[in-house]
Amino acid sequence: MSRHDALSDRWLEISVVLSSEFAEPVTHLFSRYGDGRVFVSQTGDWDADAGDTDSNPSDVVSVYGYLKMDASVDSRKGMIEVGLRLMSELTDMPPHSERIVSPEEWSNQTFPPIRVGDRIVITPWMRDDGIPEDPDDEDVHVYLSPGLAFGTGNHPTTRLCLQQILVDAGSDRLKGRRVLDVGCGSGILAIAALKLGASRAWCLDIDETAILAIRDNLVMSGVADRAHVLEGSMPNPDLPDFQFDYVFANITSRALIEISEPLVQSAKPGGVIFVSGILADQVEAVRDAFSNAGSVTIMDACQDGDWYMLRIAKSEQT
């Protein structure tokens, strides 16, 4: 959507507050009948692996969807309301809220730039506004589409991975390396790695909405020519027939445990695996899964609040 169009149209914002375990289906509902503009706001830390738990403030998220005010808005809003009513039978959920977003509000709807470490700056940008020009400074600029329910660098699990990418870039270990980003979401880790010296990256996600966001973000950040985007999980038959220098997986503990073996197999001997999305009480289970998945050494356990990231080195001799 161009800036001109944004200033000539109004949007209907539909928002709902609910348990975090239902954030994903509501996101899909809003994406299907909306216009691809969905935003998820988290309150505290929540864990997608936790399943049914007693409600507390850290379990709550707000999901926002945006529908263009055109001739079809009433029918699309009706389908969303049907979906929300069905979902309300599965979980306690207050009535959804609605408001009209003015053209001026829409044009300014964004997240503030986010700085991670001493070099990475994450900035919102819409692809229809053209390709942004990097400022003339020493920062690494990552451009992401606002309004999509994928990582912008604010969550501790993403920050932990980005900080480790910076560490390896600072020691030239990332230069010229091939990267696999599993469950890549916005593609932020792959983009940062490419802009910090990696030669090529393969981005993998199971969500088709994420795939659209990733492609835009790669273009806006100027690295699309060195990246490949695939839909699916691990193992994946569409991946190239070689092993990777770096493997990133910022997903959930349950998913990490389930695919620990193919993640280890996808790293070359001497390669490095970053796994994140792990709460404190899940660290040992994830450690055990990767220790049993191949010849690896758990090098570091980095922490940000209740969240952990494991840095895993694959043995040179496998």
Structural domains counted in the chain: 2
Residues with Cβ within 8 Å of 95's Cβ and at least 6 positions away in sequence, in order, are none
Note whether 268 and 245 are same-domain residues.
Answer: yes
Domain endpoint, select from 76, 107, 138: 107
Give me the domain span that covers residue 62.
3-107
298 strand-pairing partners: 312
Give dist(CA 155, CA 250) in Å, integer: 11
* pLDDT one digit per residue (tens) for the chain, 318 residues: 333 343 346 789 899 998 877 877 887 788 778 765 666 665 444 444 444 444 343 467 788 888 888 899 999 999 999 999 998 888 888 999 999 887 666 555 556 678 888 899 988 887 777 888 888 888 999 998 764 434 566 677 888 999 999 999 999 999 999 999 999 988 999 999 999 999 999 999 987 767 888 899 999 999 999 999 999 999 999 999 999 999 999 988 889 999 999 999 999 999 999 999 888 888 999 999 999 998 999 998 999 877 899 999 999 875
Percent of residues in the chain assigned helix, strand, coil, to nearest 5: 35, 30, 35
Are residues 36 and 70 located together in one domain of the fold? Answer: yes
Question: From CA 15, how far away is CA 165, in angstroms rounded?
Answer: 35
Domain end point (choices 72, 91, 107): 107
